[in-house]
């Protein structure tokens, strides 16, 4: 098995390199309108934005910024397959103009645009970004009435193009079963509240823009497993340092990635070759957590009725019996900004398994504990 990952350092308002109806899943986090760090970039798209900001016309600036993002969303509708999902990570903004403090609801504005394009809006995920900040308020502190609620969450907006995706052939059905997730993962992943820390994009270059809105790898890793199957193509039209691409590599999917700032190609190229071990570790961690779940469940409630045919350990449901994981073996840059990942063959996977997994496989297969 192999996957391909292409980077286009171009404006994603025009993704003409991507064919119509060719993308299986979109995961991205765009610049956030009305967050000051993005003002300069938005103003570069449209001079009306800079004028509105200078004149304190914040509602006009807000709408003009979203009109630039709208062009990307329109491109998404063109390139996505019927049944494909789009996952948009966005935070709302707070800002003071002319001594007036207010909220700018980015997530609601994006939802309206996607609906107007013909997408179906799915239930969203609220991402509570953990913070260690001791002062979780804005405004006048302990004196009423001028303090404001602090935003400590963002949204993962979910949209589907057309009808629910189907898998008509026997080969597609089997691949879907191979791409299954664990029962206990489903219970966490499909909750409408996610609670884990955000991250900063470390670019180590003073000439590059400072960005603090990056999502951690766990976010696209979950979404890719939830809404795609092995061999699918994932698109990120605002790829930054390439977190979505790394998650696609770790999960056996292809990816197309757009980023306006070409200087981001350097940190990605510097990190991708050393990230292989980390990619493999994500699947190892899934196995470790599952085995811990099995141990606790069987101790409390008795044995599980189903067994995974690939790993040999118990699983909760029949849908997990054909679940299979792919471990990245190597990555190379086949041409500039195009990467290819190869994966270990089935017979090589035992050498990658942690000792604990090997012991559990023996116990589940024979009923004998290796320590006996």
Query: Could you count the other beta carbons within 10 Å of the beta carbon of residue 25?
Result: 27
Tens digit of pLDDT for each residue in 112-133? 999 999 999 999 999 998 665 5
Average pLDDT of the chain? 89
Domain regions of the chain by residue span: 2-276, 280-334+348-366
CATH number of 2-276: 3.40.50.150
Question: Quick one: average pLDDT of 240-263?
Answer: 96
First to last CA, the chain: 38
Could you tell me the pLDDT band of residue 212, with boundaries at 50, 70 and 90? very low
pTM above 0.95, yes or no: no
Of residues 230, 250, 224, the one with CA closest to residue 172: 230
Q: How far is CA 333 from CA 5, 265, 273, 327, 330, in A?
A: 9, 12, 9, 18, 10
Q: Which residue has the tokens 């390439």?
A: 242
**Neighbour tally for 282: CB within 10 Å:** 19
Cβ atoms of residues 114 and 125 within 8 Å: no
H-assigned helices in the chain: 39-45, 47-54, 58-79, 106-117, 170-178, 183-189, 218-227, 243-250, 265-272, 276-301, 355-366
């Amino acid at each position: 098995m192999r996957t391909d990952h292409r980077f286009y350092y171009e404006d994603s308002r025009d993704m003409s390199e991507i064919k119509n109806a060719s993308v299986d899943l979109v995961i991205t986090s765009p610049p956030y309108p009305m967050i000051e760090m993005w003002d300069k970039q938005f103003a570069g798209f449209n001079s009306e934005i800079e004028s509105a900001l200078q004149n304190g016309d914040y509602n006009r600036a807000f709408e003009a910024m979203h009109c630039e993002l709208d062009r990307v969303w329109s491109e998404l509708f063109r390139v996505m397959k019927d049944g494909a999902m789009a996952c948009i990570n966005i935070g709302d903004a707070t800002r003071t103009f002319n001594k007036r403090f207010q909220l700018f609801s980015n997530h609601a504005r994006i939802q309206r645009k996607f609906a107007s394009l013909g997408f179906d809006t799915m239930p969203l995920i609220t991402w509570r970004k953990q913070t260690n900040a001791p002062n979780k308020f804005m405004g006048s502190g302990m004196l009423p009435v001028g303090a404001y609620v602090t935003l400590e969450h963002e949204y993962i907006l979910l949209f589907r193009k057309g009808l629910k995706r189907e898998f008509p052939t026997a080969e597609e059905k089997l691949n879907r079963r191979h791409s299954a997730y664990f029962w206990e993962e489903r219970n966490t992943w499909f909750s409408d509240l996610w609670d884990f820390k955000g991250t900063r994009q470390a670019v180590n270059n003073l000439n590059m823009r400072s960005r603090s809105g990056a999502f951690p790898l766990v976010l696209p890793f979950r979404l890719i497993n939830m809404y795609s199957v092995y061999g699918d193509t994932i698109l990120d039209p605002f790829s930054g340092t390439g977190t979505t691409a790394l998650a696609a590599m770790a999960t056996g999917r292809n990816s197309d990635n757009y980023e306006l700032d070409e200087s981001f190609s350097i940190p990605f190229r510097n990190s991708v070759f050393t990230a292989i071990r980390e990619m493999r570790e994500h699947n190892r961690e899934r196995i470790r957590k599952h085995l811990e779940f099995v141990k606790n469940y069987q101790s409390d409630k008795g044995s599980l009725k189903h067994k995974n045919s690939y790993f040999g350990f118990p699983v909760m449901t029949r849908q997990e019996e054909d679940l299979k994981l792919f471990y990245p073996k190597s990555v190379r840059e086949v041409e500039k900004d195009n990467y290819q990942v190869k994966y270990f063959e089935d017979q090589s996977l035992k050498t990658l398994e942690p000792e604990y997994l090997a012991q559990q496989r023996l116990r589940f297969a024979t009923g004998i504990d290796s320590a006996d």
